[in-house]
Amino acid sequence: MIRLFLILLFLTNILFASSTYYQSKFNEAKKQYLSAILSNNKKEEISSLKKIINYGSKLRINTLKYKKELNRLDTTYSLHKPQKTKFSLDKKYSIKSVKQTKNSIIINFTKNINRSYIKFSEYKKGGYYYDKFTIKGNFKDAKPTKLKFSTIVKTTIIQRKYNKLEIIFKNRKNPKTIYIINRKQIVIKILDIKAKSKKNAKHNKKIKEKVKLLPSSNKLKNSTRVIVIDAGHGGKDSGAIGSGKKYEKTVVLNIAKEVKYRLKRRGYKVYLTRSRDKFIKLSHRTKFANKKNATMFISIHANAARKKRAKKAHGIETYFLSPARSGRAKRVAALENKGDMNSMGWSSKNSLLTILNQSKITESNKIAIDVQKNMLYSLRKIYGKKAIRDGGVREGPFWVLVGAQMPSILIEVGYISHPKEGKRIYTKRYQKYIADGIANGVDSYFRKNSF
């Protein structure tokens, strides 16, 4: 009897020690999480949330709110199942249906998906252009499904493996396709395809115009969304100056007008902070957006590098408001922030930004990702992957975004200081295609974040 009592006492001590250890680790993880939020360190937030959930489960503490937050920050995390791989595909059929409309293929899933469910590649073989979409999922009716478009030579759908569906477009000319992800749905759209023959050239020209300027299917929703487009600089502020005395203020105004045209055709209410060569203070730009009760604020600029780096620096970048962590972001911000709040030091500015931006940083980041991705896609289809460098989505302390009461981003459409890109930026062709990318990015954001 005494022996049994001693064994029970020993086990109790072990359990108590274990519980104390997990409790201290749980508390420590919570402190790390709070610190990560204050310092705006997303990686540290995710790491500390995982620790909280892990130690909380051992202590039998309800960590649902932490799981929801982790699910929001990390799209690969599942609320209900432990993660063994990046994707948790259904054992049976994760793709519910594949439907064709006049210029689109709509793939409906049985659950929410993310960007990593689709991969795109393009190549040329035997005189034909191919656009290939590899989709993670299983569709039981892949074999009997037939896809046919009047502007495409051949469209193939194949279930390669249990979790790999392929959709391939084959055409004499570049198919020019884009895709949009919306929760449980992927939409693949065919853009401006030229006629296959002289006989139906006029018919296909009409299709091209309709597809390119077709209002979004969410036009009714879009009518309640107000987008303010800000063309950087203006008037006495020329912005960066390229070869041949070409001004940043001119090219960004042209692009802003192109973006407005496209968004209005899709049903959005769109305003420009300036529609002519006029100087406007940075603070007045966001005040204008606030007065219009804008849903989104987009400021358009062109980048420039010093003479030593002029031949090397090129590419497009998208920024959202936040204290800058990289030297590059600080340098770009310094060029765009001239004339405003110059008396403040970096530490003072960063402290102010942290306070002002906490409520909209996440949505601004999402918009920046969608717009950057679609600009790259639109331009690379025309100029090639190597010609259009991905400068990435970055955080930056841009004062033109500070006063905005809505999610806001700043786009650098390229380097006017670069010998080739500088000339390209001033062509109507470049301006139209980058405007397409920006408009598609806005659409993509609202499709995934309906409100």
DSSP 65-119: HHHHHHHHH-TT--SSS--SSS----SS--EEEEEE-SSEEEEEESS---GGGEE
CA 194 to chain CA centroid, nearest Å: 29
- The radius of gyration computed from the CA coordinates of the chain, to the nearest angstrom, equals 26
The fraction of the chain above a pLDDT of 90, given in percent, is 37
Q: Which of 18-32, 142-156, 210-224, 436-450 has the lowest mean pLDDT?
A: 210-224
Give the CATH H-level superfamily of domain 219-448: Zn-dependent exopeptidases (3.40.630.40)
Question: pLDDT (tens digit, 9 = 90+) per residue, 157-191?
Answer: 999 877 899 999 999 888 878 888 878 899 898 87
Distance CA 290, CA 404 (A): 6
Question: pLDDT (tens digit, 9 = 90+) per residue, 89-102?
Answer: 445 678 999 999 88
Which residues are within 8 A (CB) of 130 and not within 5 positions of it... i.e. 6 or more apart? 122, 123, 124, 168, 169, 170, 175
- In this chain, the answer to whether the domains covering 95-204 and 219-448 adopt an identical fold is no
Secondary structure letter of residue 147 according to DSSP: B
Distance CA 300, CA 411 (A): 5
398 class by beta-carbon count within 10 Å (0-12 exposed, 13-18 middle, 19+ buried): buried
Question: pLDDT (tens digit, 9 = 90+) per residue, 201-226?
Answer: 444 444 344 434 444 445 666 778 99
* 279 contacts 393 by C-beta, under 8 angstroms: no
The pLDDT, as a whole number, for residue 88 is 42
Max avg pLDDT among 115-129, 260-274, 313-327: 260-274
Distance CA 264, CA 174 (A): 27
- Domain locations in the chain? 21-84, 95-204, 219-448
Q: What is the mean pLDDT of residues 284-291?
A: 89
The pLDDT, as a whole number, for residue 200 is 44
Secondary structure letter of residue 414 according to DSSP: E
The pLDDT, as a whole number, for residue 438 is 97
* Secondary structure of residue 311 in the 3-state scheme: coil
* 277 contacts 373 by C-beta, under 8 angstroms: no
pTM: 0.51
Please, which pLDDT band fits residue 302 given cuts at 50, 70 and 90? very high
The pLDDT, as a whole number, for residue 261 is 96
Neighbours of 416 (CB within 10 A): 26
The pLDDT, as a whole number, for residue 82 is 47
Q: Is the pLDDT of residue 199 over 50?
A: no
Q: Which amino acid is at 198?
A: K
429 class by beta-carbon count within 10 Å (0-12 exposed, 13-18 middle, 19+ buried): exposed
Question: pLDDT (tens digit, 9 = 90+) per residue, 394-425?
Answer: 877 666 676 677 888 999 999 999 999 999 99
CA distances from 225 to 222, 291, 406 (A): 5, 14, 12
Token pair 């987008």: residue: 227
Of 365, 366, 394, 390, the residue nearest 378 (C-alpha): 390
Torsion of CA 407, 410, 413, 414, to 10 degrees: -140
Of 97, 188, 195, the residue nearest 151 (C-alpha): 195
Q: What is the mean pLDDT of residues 314-321?
A: 90
Of 305, 309, 323, the residue nearest 415 (C-alpha): 305
Q: Please, what is the average pLDDT of the chain? A: 79
CATH of domain 95-204: 2.60.40
Please, which pLDDT band fits residue 359 given cuts at 50, 70 and 90? low
Q: Is the pLDDT of residue 111 over 60?
A: yes
Of 369, 348, 354, the residue nearest 437 (C-alpha): 369
Label residue 392 left, alpha or beta by phi (over 0 means left) and psi (-120 to 50 means alpha). Answer: left
Which residues are within 8 A (CB) of 402 and not within 5 positions of it... i.e. 6 or more apart? 283, 286, 321, 352, 353, 356, 357
Burial code (b: 16+ CB inside 10 Å, e: under 16) for 400-410 equals: bbbbbebbbbb
Please, which pLDDT band fits residue 9 given cuts at 50, 70 and 90? low
